[in-house]
Amino acid sequence: MAPLVRQNTLSKHPELMQVFEQLTGKISEAEMIRMNYLVDGKKQNPRKVAQDFMKHKGFKTQRYYTGQEADITIGGKKFTEHYILPEIFKNFNRK
């Protein structure tokens, strides 16, 4: 996984760098395989899998939603991990 962020987005939201820095190296290949299995094999909700992972790693989770148009869009290709990873970023709240 390699998050891509526009420079103007980082200028408006510099706190995003802290999110990326704190998550760097925190998701092993084995953990991603397990999360993929939970979503694909066990049919669990990607949001729940992401939140459970975050809690296991000691991160607080918080869903940010204001009901307004978003400044930030999180997306990915159509692979299971790209359903899970955006949920991790969307629910991220620093320790």
Model confidence pLDDT, tens digit, residues 39-51: 999 999 998 998 8
φ and ψ of 93, to 5 deg? -140, 125
Confidence band, pLDDT 50/70/90 cuts, at residue 67: low
pLDDT above 60 for 33: yes
Angle subtended by helix axes 46-56 and 29-40, to nearest 10: 150
What integer pLDDT is reported at residue 90 of this predicted model? 79
Q: What was the pLDDT predicted at 77?
A: 61
Cβ–Cβ under 8 Å, residues 39 and 81 = no
* pLDDT of amino acid 45: 93
